[in-house]
Structure 1
Amino acid sequence: MALGVVIRRLPGVTRWAKWSWKPVAVLPGAGAADWTLLREDGEAAEFHAATVPLTLYRGEAEAYKIALSEPAPCVYVVLREASGAWPYAVHLVTASPHEAQLFAESGEEIVEKVAMPAGLAAWVQSFTDAHYVEEQFVKRKRRKHMDAKQQDGIGDPRIAQPTDVYRAPGARKAGPP
């Protein structure tokens, strides 16, 4: 599904950053756009930055289920620095929190949660319902070679007392060996 990404530009709060850029909305089924100005309010402005595809994969169905179980389902927008007239380019939009985390770990991209519109949430939910398969829990079994009946190699053979096998050899008590 094609998703338009709306990015808000606000004045920066430090002298080192003139502007603050943040994804604030997605537009399902949007047409192509290249930083189209949507509205201005003083120094704040919102742009339809780009339209990118939201692709869902069967292997990520569990991640989509996690995203949909949040109180407010979200998609994640990944922005990368760009060289040109605009400081950022929309790299991708994903509904998987796991994939978003991978991009957030590098620190090179901006990853923001954006509220998922109701129609998009229903579309992702129907995909998840069709492709999610719960994996059965399989308890790990003990391996036979780990079931030694006899303790072998415990303690120091230089210590004659069988009751204190972990005592150091130099700390032997006076008495018969």
Structure 2
Amino acid sequence: MSQRPTLEVAVTMRRERLDNRWQPWRWVLDDVVPAQAAFGEAPRLLREDADQALWLFPGLVVELFKDDGEGYHLNLSAPAPCWFVLWRLDEDGTGSEPLARPVAVSLSYHDAGRWLDAQETVEQVPAPPEVLALLQAFVDAHYAPEPKRRRRPDSFQSLTDRFGNPASVSTDKQRGGRGGPQHG
């Protein structure tokens, strides 16, 4: 049984102060970085001041699936290939303020589309060249675009003449002109 290629990553999320009386803060995706042992396993606050806070979320795994080659190909062929990060607000976060927790990270357009269709919060940040090179090698090995198929005629549609009026085809052989009696 073959093992799927994986990338271990950490996500940084930034909480920014807003000049808004209804919503004093907003969360945004800051970056996706390669995992390091020094990060540990638990989320932690990296820095905080009056205007922003930066949180690190280690321990996320990105798996590459052979049957999602088209999703990776679409990402690679985009003007700015990127990481897609699904995150949710965790009401049990830091005291009175909810904490934005990354739930999943992907390199597939298909994953991002499914998440967005499910009304999830999805953001993106550019993927570095070394990750894109690895992804390109995976796509080259596992993805072949489906060949274009010839379009078959719509035999079930009714026939029309060149003016758009209904037309019919008869297999009966008519003699003489149209209408009138036929002589044998």
| TM-score bucket (shorter structure) | 0.7 to 0.9
1:47 deviation in Å? 1.2
Q: 1:83 is paired with a residue of what secondary structure?
A: strand
Partner of 2:77 in structure 1? 69
Indicate which of 10, 15, 18 corresponds to 1:9. 15
Alignment of 1:34-73 (within 5 A): 34-73=42-81
Partner of 1:133 in structure 2? 144
1:44 deviation in Å? 1.4
- Amino acid in structure 2 at the alignment position of 1:36: R
Partner of 1:85 in structure 2? 93
1:30 and 2:30 equivalent?
no
Distance 1:26 1:33 in 2: 16
Q: What is the CA RMSD across the aligned residues, in angstroms?
A: 2.6
Percent identical among aligned pairs is: 30
Aligned residue-pair number? 152
Partner of 1:101 in structure 2? 113
- Amino acid in structure 1 at the alignment position of 2:109: P
1:20 and 2:26 equivalent?
yes
Distance 1:115 1:30 in 2: 19
Gapped regions of structure 1 (runs ≥ 5): 153-161, 163-177
Q: Which has the higher strand share?
A: 2
Partner of 2:126 in structure 1? 115
Distance 2:24 2:156 in 1: 66
Partner of 1:174 in structure 2? none
1:151 and 2:168 equivalent?
yes
- Amino acid in structure 2 at the alignment position of 1:43: D
1:90 deviation in Å? 1.3
- Amino acid in structure 1 at the alignment position of 2:62: L
Distance change (3 Å), C-alpha of 1:8 and 1:33: farther
Distance change (3 Å), C-alpha of 1:13 and 1:106: farther
Distance 1:143 1:70 in 2: 35
With the length of structure 1 as denominator, give the TM-score of the two structures: 0.73
